[in-house]
Amino acid sequence: MEAITTVIKPASSWIGQVIDLGPIDQIAPRCYMTAFFCLRLVPDIATGSIIKRVQRMIFCAVQEIPQLATTVIPRNNSREELELCYLEDSGACLAFKDYTAEHLKHEWTHGSFEDLAKAHFPYEKLERRTFIEGINPDEKNKPLMALM
């Protein structure tokens, strides 16, 4: 299985709408964080069912917090401010890559779930490309929510 990517798009009626960020949001540090989840799998559970459940969770989160489907863009002024905008290509992105699959096992060099748990899931030791492949941190416009 290659990476399965799902993008939860904003409602078409929202395309073009802008969400202004307040003064505190404008001066807050601009850091983009990566979150990852390690799951202990039951041996007889189908990977597809996990993917469907997580897709459903992201869909529900966007229904409750529609701003998760926006894109962070520069505001059109000289003060280097940002705003959130619902663009044609905006959306909450989820990419699922099964590193237990035979053809991907060689890419995962961090041991088993138990090894990661013993080390308290050492995020700093994991290669960034493992989690954010396909997301360019230098891109001018960034999706507000991209999960991998």
Give the angle subtended at the CA of 82 by the CAs of 78 and 83, to the nearest 5°: 125
Tell me how far apart the alpha carbons of residues 25 and 101 are, in angstroms, rounded to a whole number.
Answer: 41
The pTM assigned to this predicted structure is 0.71
Is residue 86 predicted with pLDDT exceeding 80?
A: yes
- pLDDT, tens digit (0-9, with 9 covering 90-100), for 49-69: 988 998 999 899 999 999 989
Rg (CA), the chain: 18
- pLDDT, tens digit (0-9, with 9 covering 90-100), for 94-147: 878 788 788 888 888 888 888 988 999 887 777 766 665 555 555 565 565 554
Q: Compute the average pLDDT of residues 35-49.
A: 80
What confidence score (pLDDT) does residue 148 get? 37
- Tally of CA atoms within 13 A in the half-sphere of 83 that contains its CB: 13
What confidence score (pLDDT) does residue 147 get? 43
